[in-house]
Structures are given as C-alpha cells and as structure tokens.
Structure 1
Amino acid sequence: MSRSRNTNRLAKKIRAQTSLTLSAASRLAQQANVYLGSSVEDSPNPQQSRLEAHVAHVLASSFQDRQLNGALLGVEEAQPENQGLKLILESNMANEVLRELLPRFDHFYGGIRGVPGLRIRGSNRRVALHDALSSAQVTVMRADHGAMRLPSARDGEVLLWKRVPGVLTRNERQEAAEWADSRAIVDLRVRDVLLSRILRWPGLVNRTAKPHGFANCYTHHSGDLVIEWCCGDTVETLCANLLAHGFADGLPRERAIELISRYSAHLGDRTVILNRHGSCFYGREGEKIAQRIRKHYGS
C-alpha cells in the first residue's frame, strides 16, 4: 500500500477517535513513522490494569531523568503473559526497578514508598511481583538474563514485602484504597488503561529517550504521568505513532488527545502529558551524564 494511502487511512482513524479537526489529524498522520500498527493488547481485567498503572506511576516518580540506554522507566520490552505482564528490564537498572516497586515504610519520608500490597515469588532470574489482594501480577527479568538482587533495607526503612509477606499492613491498605478510589480523578478507568499502555508499549515511548539515552519522567499526583525530552521525535510525531498503534482505542473521544502547542500534548484528559523542549538540554554532555547514571546503578 502506498505511503499516501496509509497516511489517509491513519488520518481518518485519528479523526474518528479524537476531537481533532481533519486538518490536524492529517498533519499528525503525515508525521507518523508507522501506519496503523497492531493495537496495544490491554490487560484482561481491571485489577491487572490498575496494578500496571500503579507500577508505571511509581517508576516515573522514582526514575525521573535517570534512565539508561533509552529504556524509559527501566523497561526495554513488555510481553503479555497469561493473565499478567512480563517486563524485560534494562540490566543496569533492573535491581533499582525492583527496589522502587517493592513496598517499604520510610520513616524519614513518613509513609510508604513503592506499590502497596506488592509481594514476590519465583526465582532470582524471573521475579513475579504479585498483588496480595488480587490475581494481578507483573513478572520482571533482566535483559541479559542475569540474576536479580532483592533489595535490603536502608536506614530508616522497613521492608513491608518481606516483613508481612501474606497480608497488607494498615498503611498499605490505606494507600491501595486511595489509588483505587482517587476522588479527584474524573475517570479512573482512563488513568489505569493509559498508564498501563505506557508500560505495555515501550517500543514507542522509549523513542523519547533514545537520542541521549534518557528522558525525564515525573508525576504531579495519582492521576498523571509526564514525559519530557528535548531531541528526536516531535510531540506530534510521537502522538501520531501512539495513535496509529491504538493508544487512544476505547477512550472517550473528547478526552483522547489535546494538542496544547508545538511542544506539548495531553492524552486522556491530562493522564499522559508529553512535553518536548525547543532546544537540546544536554548536547555533548549527554554521554557524561549517562556515565554518572551508570556509575550510580553500579554502586
């Protein structure tokens, strides 16, 4: 099929799924690097989507601009597996991913860090992180197939996943309930689906991190995830590629996407916020920064 026919098909899909004008949909379609790829395979049940969304949210809050080798949130590849999800992790970051996800009470912070209720099973090369309250599960492995190192407690921490392996503590139950019923969020289903899709489609979102090996991620609250970068795909190109692969499938049309400017877009009514800076932040310093990040994970 010709490029022009593919572009027209994608433009029609974008127009049908969003509130964008036909001219805006056509502009996005012309910038896409891929056309009408396979749709994201969503989680099979709400509990699984909610767990994956929480995992993505915690990793974004934790890693910020400390990714390596273009692996946003530390994830190189994601594979649906039975009723759960398998994540292939960037090998340098893998142990830190495990540490950030497993719940611990931080006395200095004054609360819980990680995903409340997350517990472990499996071997040190294939660690299953399962929700103590449901059948939801995410399995993590290193890309180099090496052994994962379980985290030890740091000063002021209590490892809840190790201390109470079969049940949730009172604080964990409270945190889990707040994530599952955040009253300030208009549509929790949209949040869970979109953040789950961020985790399930690293091949597309990792494009933001490839030019320098890292991008910047953070969150404002329990309802959003922000990705910032400075080089590579424009915001419109990234949006076009995401929409081509079904990122907005099943979302309310009026909330699917909002193009704020050349440098910013909102997906899912500010669930996923994309910001691309107008100039390079790192230049020749990118590799030096990557070396410092790598050294941190090696310590």
Structure 2
Amino acid sequence: MSRRTHNRHRIAVICRAATGLPHLTCLRWATEGLIDRYQPVPDADLPGQRAFEARLVLSLVDALRHEQVEGALLGFTASEPSREGLTLTLHPAMADRVLAAALPRRDMLYGGLRGVPGLRLTGSPGRWWLRGLLDGARVRLRHPDPFWRPVLPQGAPDLVHVWRQSPRHPHGSELPAHRPLRHGQDWLLSRALRRPRLVNGAGAAHGWANTYAHGSRGITIEWCCAMPASDMARLLVRSGLTAEAEGLPPTKRPQRENWSAYGLLELGEAVLTVRQGHCAERATASLRASS
C-alpha cells in the first residue's frame, strides 16, 4: 500500500468514526479531495447553513439534557455532511422530542422564543426536512422507518407555536430573536452537529449525559463512565473540530495537560467543554445496596 493510499484510509477511518458513514464513502471523499487530514468531516460552505445548524444544537442541548436514549445526545445517530447541507439520522425513540425542542414557540410564562427562529418542518414520509425561512438553510432528516410520521407537539396554555401560526413565512416574533450568533460559535457548533458518533460517545456507558449551553460562548458535555475527558478531547480535535476556519484567527494549540478532568476546545471566541464527573449511577447503586 502506497503512503498516499494509507493516508486516505486513515482519513476515512476518522470520518467514519465521527459521522457513522460507510468507510467506502469516506474513502471516496478522501480520494476526490473533499476531505483531508486537517478536515476529515466536510464543513458547510455557506454562513447561513452553519448558523442554522448551530442554532439547532443550542435548542437541543438544554431541552434534551438527561433525556437521551442509548447515548444519542442530540437525538441523532449518524450524519451525512456536505458542503451544501446536512442529513441527520434520527434515533427512533427521540425523533419526536427533537422536533418538539427545535420548532419555534413563544413561552408566555417565562418570556422569549424557544427553539430555532424560522425553522419549519416540511416534506412527507421518507423525505422530511428542517428548513430555515430566515437564512435559506436546510437539514434533511432520515428515520429508520421510511414510513415514519412525526407526532408534533400540541397546544399548551403557556406556549404559542409560531410554526403553526405562520407555516410559510417568518412570524413577527421570530425576527428579533434571529440575532446573529458569534462567528466562531457558528463554526464550532455546526461541526459538533456533523460529528454525532463522536459526541454520542459521552453517553456510551449509561445512555445519557448532561448537556447544556453556557452563555453565548458554546456548550458543555459532561458524563461519568464513558471515557476519560482527555480521550474525548483528543478524538474531537483529531476529527477537525477546532481546525482553522475562514474568518477566524488561528486557534491556539490545545493544552493537553488540561484534559485530565475536562477539555476546553476553542475556536475563535467559542468553546466546547467536555468534562468527566462522578458516576451518579454508581452512587445510586451503592445507596440501594446499603439500604
């Protein structure tokens, strides 16, 4: 095997581990020059697409915390990323929860808009899309059941589902909520969404992990027994999560000595924190055994 062929296979292995795509697909991408060792998972080319994907992540990390099934932290099990768009495979037990978290709604009790401003679900069984009315972006949803029909959230006393009120045009309440994210956050969170197999590794032990957004800088993923934080940080960096991006200053080289208990993965001003904590399951089991 030539050195060039060996390098392509190595890139394909990283791509497959991050996305869940077949090895031959990733190998073809490497051969065609669509991916390389610096970026083994394709980025979205258009700023609007990256921003839409980043907003989707932010809407899911808080809504689905501690509600994951079989380690599907954001509700997805695999991805097919391209420069033009993204296809995500839904975990069948979390599909409806993903839509309930992402579809925009006004919270009359606490105020403000929840979900992704301008997001609408369109399509039919086998061809479902999340479309962005405000930026022209789209994410295709794939479900293991080709005849799957989503069960959409119904009305609630304190919620106004703006996607029902205005299915084809942006609702007035969505326009002020669609303020720009930070440039680095768009890149970082879009990349995280395109690497579901790696992100899901945090929930490998117990099927769940704690995920939440912190301020306007990024997100945190914390778990207990799945793997050391240093391993998770290393895999994410190797997958190109913090690779240089257009319009951002060069990223500082990660300080691996800080990866023992947690890792701060930075891109521009955005941060993805991966953290290993104490095992709640083990503590619960000990209490039961002693009672």
Q: TM-score range by the shorter chain?
A: 0.7 to 0.9
Indicate whether 1:176 and 2:175 are aligned.
no
Contact 1:141 1:148 in 2 (8 A): no
Cα distance, 1:120 vs structure 2: 2.2
- Any idea what the Cα deviations from partners look like across 1:218-255, whole Å, max 9, x if unmatched? 01223211000011221111111112222222154444
Which of 229, 232, 244 does residue 238 from structure 1 map onto? 232
Alpha carbons 1:57, 1:222 under 8 Å: kept: no
Indicate the residue corresponding to 1:267 in structure 2: 265
C-alpha displacement at 1:50, in angstroms?
Answer: 0.4
Which amino acid is 1:148 matched to? P
1:29 is matched with none
After TM superposition, which residue ranges in structure 1, 4 or more long, deviate above 3 angstroms?
A: 251-261
Structure 1 pair 270/79, CA: closer, same or farther in 2 (3 Å)? same
Match of 1:225 among 219, 223, 227: 219
What is the number of residues matched between the two proteins? 247
Q: TM-score, normalised by structure 1?
A: 0.75
Contact 1:94–1:148 (CA under 8 A) maintained in structure 2 = yes
Q: Judge conservation of contact 2:39–2:243 (CA < 8 Å) in 1.
A: no
SS at match of 1:219: strand
Q: d(CA) in 2 for partners of 1:107 and 1:204?
A: 36
The corresponding residue for 2:153 is 151
Find the aligned partners of 1:217 and 1:225 in 2 and give their Cα distance.
7
Is the 8 Å Cα contact of residues 78 and 86 (structure 1) preserved in structure 2? Answer: yes
Quote how far apart the aligned CAs of 1:270 are. 5.1
State the Cα distance separating 1:203 from its structure 2 match. 1.1
In the alignment, structure 1 segments of 5+ residues that lack a partner are 11-35, 182-187, 287-299
208, 213, 230: which one aligns with 2:207: 213
Q: Is the 8 A contact 1:94 1:141 kept in 2?
A: no
Is contact 1:74-1:97 (8 Å) kept? Answer: yes
RMSD: 2.6
Matches within 5 A, 1:13-162: 39-80=40-81, 83-145=84-146, 146-162=148-164
* Counterpart contact for 1:64–1:218, Cα < 8 Å: yes
Deviation track 1:176-225 (CA, whole Å, cap 9, x = no partner) reads 02xx15xxxxxx22211110111101111111111111111001223211
Q: Distance in 1 between matches of 2:140 and 2:149?
A: 14
* Alpha-carbon contact 2:52-2:135 (below 8 Å) kept: no
Query: Distance between the aligned counterparts of 2:253 and 2:59, measured in 1?
Result: 23
Q: 1:258 to 1:103 in 2, by over 3 A?
A: farther
- For 1:257 and 1:153, locate their aligned partners in 2 and report how far apart those are by CA, in whole Å: 46
Please, which runs of 5 or more residues in structure 2 have no aligned partner?
Answer: 2-6, 12-36, 286-291
The alignment-based identity, stated in percent, is 33
